[in-house]
Structure 1
Amino acid sequence: MTLRNGLLLGTAFLVGVVAGPEIGRVARHQATFGSALAQDVQQNTAGTSATSASGHAETYRLLTLFGDVFERVRADYVQPVTDRDLINNALNGMLTGLDPHSSYMTAKQFADMQVQTSGHFGGLGLEVTSDAGLIKVMTPMDGTPAYRAGMKTGDYIISINGKSLDGIDLNDAVDRMRGAPDTKITLTIKRPGKDKPYDVTMTREIIHIQVIRSALYGKVAYIRMASFDEDTESGMRDAFEKMKKQAGGKLDGVILDLRNDPGGLLDQAVAVCDDFITSGEVVSTRARHPEDSQRMNAHGTDITDGLPLVVLTNEGSASASEIVAGALQDHHRSITLGTRSFGKGSVQTVIPLSGDNGAIRLTTARYYTPSGRSIQGLGITPDIKVRESREDDSKFMLREGDLAHIIKNEGGTQTPAAPRTDLPAIAKSIPDEPPANWPTFDPTKPGTDFQLQQGLKVVNAMSAGQAAPAASTQHAGSP
């Protein structure tokens, strides 16, 4: 794959690659920050304003401070440390201190990152992030060792093969979890709500991401998206056409399952929306520099010809999946059912560094739904709220707003969305949690999936004659 170094929508570090996949445009330059900064400092000439001169002097003072600390650590640290390790640590600290999604990647980590959008890589299939210095699970990917081992969003990984992760950098923790296929690894997990940590032993393998899974329930097409890689839209379309044929050429509705989908490629998110929305805005981005802002519109054909559509979301639905859920919701093309999504409303740009020195991923813009909403730190609120279990574990759910030093939610519309008046009558009778005798969820048994079963009720009710959402362009204006 040729990397289109551009905007990132991934939410966390993935065990098997170092970062989420890239989306969007090509970066126009390679970063040569050392020389650029030196030139900037040297521009403090006689003709420079007093304010600018003061700023340059402060920059020079801080660079001198950095050099002093660098020399002291190199000379007096308890054991020898390479200059490269010191600089790598400093670069990563510079970026991770800005927000949870900016980071520095070494050449190896950058190469690892490029693998994910091809849909297969080595590892555990486990997305993790840093939470107050602890390693926290964002989501296990479908069908992977982590998924089969029963790991869940919100789990903390406190040790690997008996060695504590206390104080370990996220990059280092991810590196420790990687390894050759067919080798075993034991993670010690602390799950919120459980008194004692416990061990989970897995076997590393080459992860082949099954991005699209589908099933036909009666005449309702169920399409599950695990992530947005290069083949997501085409895979979704193929699955839809296959199920339509199986249903004798006529379907009653579609369920699009975006639960625990951490995101991916922007062009794929837009393409998926194209398959349900015929015109109007899908998403817009606003950057520091106006020329880098973008607006992406739908120019497609509704492949379902207006069939009832339900989108399932939960706290693991992030980035590209939130773009899809938000666009379909704003256009009143779908009904969203489940729990509030992750809330990552920022985009990152991958900038390769010269001299095979890796790359940086830098937060460069915020994105907005067609109605002008910024979901940063807030997420997509479902039209019909349904929890997956009776346990009130919301306080344990990790979302963007729970991470340290996130960027602010700003620039979007501050007008609350008007309550929807087009929901089918059955929406009022959908319970917000399973009954007491509901069976324990088993991913191999759809009948135990409470959110899915409620989604099927809604789709079938709309198909039977209750009001069904129709695509609207009322929110097509640029925010």
Structure 2
Amino acid sequence: MKHRTGLLLGAAFLAGVAAAPASGLLARGFGLHLGIPAAFAQDTGDAETYRLLSLFGDVFERVRSEYVEPVSDRELIDNALNGMLSGLDPHSNYMDAKSFRDMQVQTRGEFGGLGIEVTQENGFIKVITPIDDTPASRAGVKAGDLILALDGQTVQGLTLNDAVDRMRGPPNSTIKLTIKREAVDKPIELTMQREIIHIEVVKSHLEDGDVGYIRLTQFNEQTDAGLRRAVQQLRAQAGDKLRGFVLDLRNNPGGLLDQAVAVSDDFLDHGEIVSTRARHPDDSQRWDAKPGDIANGLPLVVLINNGSASASEIVAGALQDNRRAILLGQRSFGKGSVQTVIPLPGNGAMRLTTARYYTPSGRSIQGLGIAPDVPVQESRTEQPHFGPEREADLNHVLSNAGGTPQASAPPRNDLPPIVKDIPKAPPSGFPDYDAAKPGTDFQLQEGVAVLHAMAATKRASAD
């Protein structure tokens, strides 16, 4: 592994579920003391800071003494921290000790539950995507489904972490999900059995005997090593017939920044990969590629869609801006922010947005996404989705500041002539996309056609 940081770039919590996602003397009588950072005191003024903390303490004391039922100090503080962070942007949040441990397990690629990537919107739990070959995918859970209830109890009023905790449980135990699905009048009830979820982050095979297809499902600690193994295996299988690679980042919600940098570096010999800009200039960073392209310059097509987020967008933007790959599909999710996980006393942690990231050309894709070089829809008629389809649709979305706010890369003149003839949607009569039926993947078919054209152009220029 060439790079490692403590930064995250996930768009949602996973529900193995795994989830998308004080200062001064607060009140002497509570026995709580949380030190005020000097910079904070300087920014706000000591008097105003203490006045606001006194207001918080007054509310805290009133609730703990007069709420209709007894509530622990820990629960009140946890709720306050949740509100403080989740009100900033969709990706900042507080994790208690259990949630923090679960997140650490998730990044290692194995956890217990159902196998659903979820987020929260308007009080309900929204399915981003079911993970392949898990209880959720086998039971028929689909991207865009809204989870209304768990074992007959509404999810409204639950935090995302609470809902995720309820979906987790011992292997072989059962849970019933009540789901609302687009174009279905009545709620759907699905009962499934929990199991240990092993995330297969890299999947690969040969297309047409000469194109290496590699799908990355997320960016965890195993991703870069898995990608390198896949490239070696495909080279061994295809031999001299190998024409290039299709890298599939569709519905990949992101993950670890160091893995996004490493995957980008794998296909680049030089040039910038990504930069981050924080509140304080000294905390800004830039990553550049090192010599060594594992594909040895073979053509590369990258598939993206509106489920390609964050770390996926870093890879797509780096390969697009460096003219290393052609992007095909649909505009990406548009998460252009970086989160830092900060451990807290008591073994919990907060996930705090600390920077925006920028592609090599200086683009900030926050709220905009990355536009593909070759736009192609998944289905002939795009189906509407519940809830947010992209970052810009979320509540408290971070603004797009600095850089060049545009989804499209600078104009490029290196696209093969065939791209002019690629239809933007499947032809009439083409079957609707079904992940279990490879012949229905129109975007992949067109991606392979573009790659063959790129390979032919490369061979012709070498002659």
Q: 1:436: how far off? A: 2.6
Q: 1:142: how far off? A: 2.2
In the aligned structure 2, how far is the partner of 1:312 from the partner of 1:411?
Answer: 27
The reply to whether residue 241 of structure 1 matches residue 232 of structure 2 is yes
The reply to whether residue 37 of structure 1 matches residue 36 of structure 2 is yes
Partner SS, residue 403 of structure 2: coil
Q: 1:158: how far off? A: 0.9
Superposition map of 1:425-464 within 5 A? 425-464=417-456
More deviation in 427-436 or 86-95? 427-436
The reply to whether residue 75 of structure 1 matches residue 65 of structure 2 is yes
CA offsets, 1:445-473, max 9 Å, x none?
31111111111111112222379999xxx
Superposition map of 1:146-165 within 5 A? 146-165=136-155
The reply to whether residue 111 of structure 1 matches residue 110 of structure 2 is no
Superposition map of 1:330-409 within 5 A? 330-354=321-345, 356-393=346-383, 396=386, 398-409=389-400
Q: Please list every run of 5 or more consecutive structure 2 residues that lacks an aligned counterpart in the other structure.
A: 22-31
Query: Is the CA contact 1:185–1:203 (under 8 Å) kept in the aligned structure 2?
Result: yes
Aligned to 2:25: none
Query: Is the CA contact 2:20–2:118 (under 8 Å) kept in the aligned structure 1?
Result: no
Q: 1:382: how far off? A: 0.8
In the aligned structure 2, how far is the partner of 1:83 from the partner of 1:404?
Answer: 28
Q: 1:39: how far off? A: 7.6
CA offsets, 1:411-466, max 9 Å, x none?
11257643322211111111111223112333233111111111111111222237
Q: Please list every run of 5 or more consecutive structure 1 residues that lacks an aligned counterpart in the other structure.
A: 22-32, 44-51, 471-479
Letter in 1 for 2:239: G
The reply to whether residue 189 of structure 1 matches residue 179 of structure 2 is yes
In the aligned structure 2, how far is the partner of 1:17 from the partner of 1:196?
Answer: 25
Q: 1:201: how far off? A: 2.1
The 3 A distance-change label for structure 1 pair 422 and 10 is: same
Aligned to 2:287: 296
CA offsets, 1:292-331, max 9 Å, x none?
1110010031222221111011111111111101100111
The reply to whether residue 221 of structure 1 matches residue 220 of structure 2 is no
In the aligned structure 2, how far is the partner of 1:107 from the partner of 1:241?
Answer: 40
Letter in 2 for 1:455: G
In the aligned structure 2, how far is the partner of 1:202 from the partner of 1:369?
Answer: 41
The reply to whether residue 170 of structure 1 matches residue 169 of structure 2 is no
CA offsets, 1:235-266, max 9 Å, x none?
11211111111112341111000011111122
In the aligned structure 2, how far is the partner of 1:35 from the partner of 1:435?
Answer: 62
The 3 A distance-change label for structure 1 pair 430 and 40 is: closer
Aligned to 2:117: 127
Q: 1:91: how far off? A: 0.7
CA offsets, 1:21-79, max 9 Å, x none?
9xxxxxxxxxxx953228889x8xxxxxxxx6983222222212111111111122121
The 3 A distance-change label for structure 1 pair 34 and 438 is: farther
Q: 1:368: how far off? A: 0.6
More deviation in 411-420 or 72-81? 411-420
The reply to whether residue 12 of structure 1 matches residue 4 of structure 2 is no
1:199 to 169, 175, 189: 189
More deviation in 53-62 or 65-74? 53-62
In the aligned structure 2, how far is the partner of 1:284 from the partner of 1:372?
Answer: 8
CA offsets, 1:66-118, max 9 Å, x none?
11111111122121111111111011111001111111111111111111122
Aligned to 1:49: none
The 3 A distance-change label for structure 1 pair 253 and 64 is: same
More deviation in 9-18 or 162-171? 9-18
In the aligned structure 1, how far is the partner of 2:91 from the partner of 2:405?
Answer: 25
More deviation in 318-327 or 64-73? 64-73
Aligned to 1:25: none
In the aligned structure 1, how far is the partner of 2:123 from the partner of 2:19?
Answer: 18
In the aligned structure 2, how far is the partner of 1:199 from the partner of 1:450?
Answer: 31
Q: 1:163: how far off? A: 1.0
1:418 to 410, 414, 420: 410
The 3 A distance-change label for structure 1 pair 249 and 352 is: same
Query: Is the CA contact 1:315–1:342 (under 8 Å) kept in the aligned structure 2?
Result: yes
Aligned to 1:48: none
Identity of aligned residues (%): 64
The 3 A distance-change label for structure 1 pair 265 and 450 is: same
The 3 A distance-change label for structure 1 pair 5 and 313 is: closer
Partner SS, residue 442 of structure 1: coil
The reply to whether residue 253 of structure 1 matches residue 244 of structure 2 is yes
In the aligned structure 1, how far is the partner of 2:307 from the partner of 2:437?
Answer: 21
In the aligned structure 2, how far is the partner of 1:134 from the partner of 1:469?
Answer: 55
Query: Is the CA contact 2:19–2:118 (under 8 Å) kept in the aligned structure 1?
Result: no
Query: Is the CA contact 2:320–2:409 (under 8 Å) kept in the aligned structure 1?
Result: no
The 3 A distance-change label for structure 1 pair 432 and 40 is: closer
Partner SS, residue 34 of structure 2: helix
The reply to whether residue 231 of structure 1 matches residue 230 of structure 2 is no
In the aligned structure 1, how far is the partner of 2:336 from the partner of 2:321?
Answer: 16
Superposition RMSD in Å: 2.4
Q: 1:170: how far off? A: 1.3
Q: TM-score, normalised by structure 1?
A: 0.88
In the aligned structure 2, how far is the partner of 1:53 from the partner of 1:330?
Answer: 38
In the aligned structure 1, how far is the partner of 2:316 from the partner of 2:164?
Answer: 30
In the aligned structure 2, how far is the partner of 1:89 from the partner of 1:469?
Answer: 63
Query: Is the CA contact 1:153–1:398 (under 8 Å) kept in the aligned structure 2?
Result: no
In the aligned structure 1, how far is the partner of 2:272 from the partner of 2:240?
Answer: 30
Partner SS, residue 240 of structure 2: coil
Partner SS, residue 457 of structure 2: coil
Query: Is the CA contact 2:119–2:127 (under 8 Å) kept in the aligned structure 1?
Result: yes
Query: Is the CA contact 1:20–1:113 (under 8 Å) kept in the aligned structure 2?
Result: no
Letter in 2 for 1:457: A
Q: 1:395: how far off? A: 5.8
CA offsets, 1:110-166, max 9 Å, x none?
111111122111111211112122221122222222222332332211111111112
